[in-house]
Amino acid sequence: MTIQAAIGELSSLLGQRLVRSKSELAQHGASESHFALAPPDAVAYPETTEEVAGLVRICAAHRCPVVGWGTGTSLEGQAQAFQGGVCVDFTRMNRVLEVSQADMHVRVQPGVTREALNEELRATGLFFPVDPGANASLGGMASTRASGTTAVRYGTMRDNVMGLEVVTAAGEVIRTGTRARKSAAGYDLTALFVGAEGTLGLITELTLRLRGIPEAIAAAVCGFETTAAAVNCVIDTIQMGVPMARIELVDAETVRAVNAYAGMALPEKPHLLLEFHGSETGVAEQAETFGAIAADHGGARFDWATRAEDRNALWAVRHNAYHAIMALRPGARALITDICVPISRLAEAVETCRADLERAGIDGPILGHVGDGNFHAVLVFDPEDAGEKQKVIDAANRLVDLALSLGGTVTGEHGIGIGKLGYMEREHGPAWALMGRIKAALDPDGIMNPGKLVPPRN
């Protein structure tokens, strides 16, 4: 069997760092989502780009699937090995290679996590802003085009990856981008690999853009009577051009879950969680502008916190939300929707979603990055109850139709993997086939993360 032949050669290349124990295979075959276990045939722990290239060349020769693995926190099954093969775990490629304070960028290996990077940067006055919640690896975040709470101000991985080193499907090492702030030199290969979910190659090094830690940071929380009022407040804030660093919605159901989970006592109504970055006067000006807009929408008098520990407590609410929701119903799983719509249609999208879930009798707390028009409904279901699971899938489908009808996208940040493969043609029309042609050109044997993102071949 071709996979077995590859594994034999990989063992010679990697020795003890090619692992086939049941527990390792099971761990790398799981995900945080509702997909069935899909273990690889082996897990590889390369330590250098050259080892990754050698590994891919062996797999290419034997047409053995190659699936990248960062921390396993992707939500659409991107890192699961649905066709078996070799899982390439980048845990051992976790070095920060070079910090350039003067140019405000950093060169890292793909296994560095965002928290580890920011820890390493602490003394420099710089930070890496993209924050998807999970302490994901930077290679994984690039591969899934992650974003999160700060994208409203600092952009997504699309905007913060300057260049890559990639091992192609042929096992060749290429570099994309430069260390300059811009370039017009040919096709934007960096942007092509960011969000490709490992289907075109494996990222073995990233050059990332850093930002200066702001002189002043203030966080705030503001309650509203209705979700619509909170969302309309967001829309006005964005349209006024207030450069919010974070502006997140948690609806009443989410607040209820967080209160129960973390022993908090927030009023059980929709809240916006906010963060302002800038100079002292800039932050004060932003907070004042926001306060006036919030008051127009019936927002409660809002408090801001400038002490780091108060801010951290506030953001723990947001970061705990998913676990808090899941704790409400032990043993349940969740399908997390991820639609993103133009900001002008956000209130309509959230209200339609809420009404739809209520009509269908689904538990679906709503939270998300509303400054981007992106929100998640956490659709909780009993995995043993096929009827309930189908009800949830049907609701997610209706939400996708809603997003597309409003000019939006089926996924703001979680990506495609296998979870949203069925929506690609609806979102992209004939452009999806064009993605398939790019895939076929760069990975003619289809070994890189097969079965994901692009149309199945014939």
Q: Which of residues 309-338 bind a second copy (CB under 8 A)?
A: 338
- Distance between CA atoms of residues 174 and 192, nearest Å: 13
DSSP letter, residue 369: -
Min dist CB 68 to a second copy, Å, is 16
Q: Which of 381, 400, 417 has its CA nearest to residue 337?
A: 400
Min dist CB 303 to a second copy, Å, is 23
Contact 58, 175 (CB under 8 A): no
- Distance between CA atoms of residues 265 and 70, nearest Å: 36
Contact 376, 368 (CB under 8 A): yes
Min dist CB 176 to a second copy, Å, is 6
- Distance between CA atoms of residues 366 and 160, nearest Å: 27
Min dist CB 108 to a second copy, Å, is 16
340 binds a second copy (CB under 8 A): yes
Q: Which of 284, 304, 78, 32 has its CA nearest to residue 196?
A: 78
188-196, 249-257, 355-363, 378-386 -> range binding a second copy (CB under 8 A) = 188-196
Burial class (CB in 10 A: 0-12, 13-18, 19+), 45: buried
Min dist CB 289 to a second copy, Å, is 9
Size of the site for a second copy (CB under 8 A): 84
184 binds a second copy (CB under 8 A): yes
> Residue 79 is which amino acid?
A
Q: Which of 295, 313, 428, 445 binds a second copy (CB under 8 A)?
A: 428
Give long-range contacts, CB 8 A cutoff, 24+ apart: 119-122. Answer: 120/96, 121/210
172 binds a second copy (CB under 8 A): yes
Contact 306, 218 (CB under 8 A): yes
47 binds a second copy (CB under 8 A): no
Residue-by-residue DSSP string for 270-310: -EEEEEEEE-HHHHHHHHHHHHHHHHHTTPPP-EEE-SHHH
192 binds a second copy (CB under 8 A): yes
Q: Which is nearer to a second copy, 145 or 256 (CB)?
A: 145
23-31, 326-334, 378-386, 408-416 -> range binding a second copy (CB under 8 A) = 408-416
39-47, 85-93, 225-233, 236-244 -> range binding a second copy (CB under 8 A) = 236-244
Q: Which of 153, 211, 319, 391 binds a second copy (CB under 8 A)?
A: 211
Burial class (CB in 10 A: 0-12, 13-18, 19+), 310: middle
Q: Which of 1, 37, 97, 174 binds a second copy (CB under 8 A)?
A: 174
Q: Which residues pair with 294 in a beta bridge?
A: none
Min dist CB 18 to a second copy, Å, is 27
Q: Which of 20, 308, 312, 342 binds a second copy (CB under 8 A)?
A: 342
Q: Which of 1, 36, 180, 386 binds a second copy (CB under 8 A)?
A: 180
Min dist CB 383 to a second copy, Å, is 25
Min dist CB 252 to a second copy, Å, is 25
Q: Which of 65, 77, 412, 451 binds a second copy (CB under 8 A)?
A: 412
Contact 356, 366 (CB under 8 A): no
- Distance between CA atoms of residues 245 and 431, nearest Å: 33
429 binds a second copy (CB under 8 A): yes
Contact 73, 140 (CB under 8 A): yes
Task: Tell me phi and psi for residue 213, to 5 degrees.
Answer: -60, 125
188 binds a second copy (CB under 8 A): yes
- Distance between CA atoms of residues 396 and 379, nearest Å: 8
89 binds a second copy (CB under 8 A): no
424 binds a second copy (CB under 8 A): yes
Q: Which of 103, 120, 351, 382 binds a second copy (CB under 8 A)?
A: 103
85-93, 181-189, 258-266, 321-329 -> range binding a second copy (CB under 8 A) = 181-189
Contact 169, 448 (CB under 8 A): yes
181 binds a second copy (CB under 8 A): yes
Q: Which is nearer to a second copy, 389 or 398 (CB)?
A: 398
Q: Which of 415, 419, 450, 451 binds a second copy (CB under 8 A)?
A: 415
422 binds a second copy (CB under 8 A): no
Q: By CB under 8 A, what part of segment 106-145 binds a second copy? A: 144-145
Contact 111, 70 (CB under 8 A): yes
Q: Which is nearer to a second copy, 5 or 104 (CB)?
A: 104
3-state secondary structure of 246: strand
Q: Which of 331, 361, 441, 457 binds a second copy (CB under 8 A)?
A: 441
- For the chain, the farthest-separated pair of C-alpha atoms sits apart, in whole angstroms, at 68
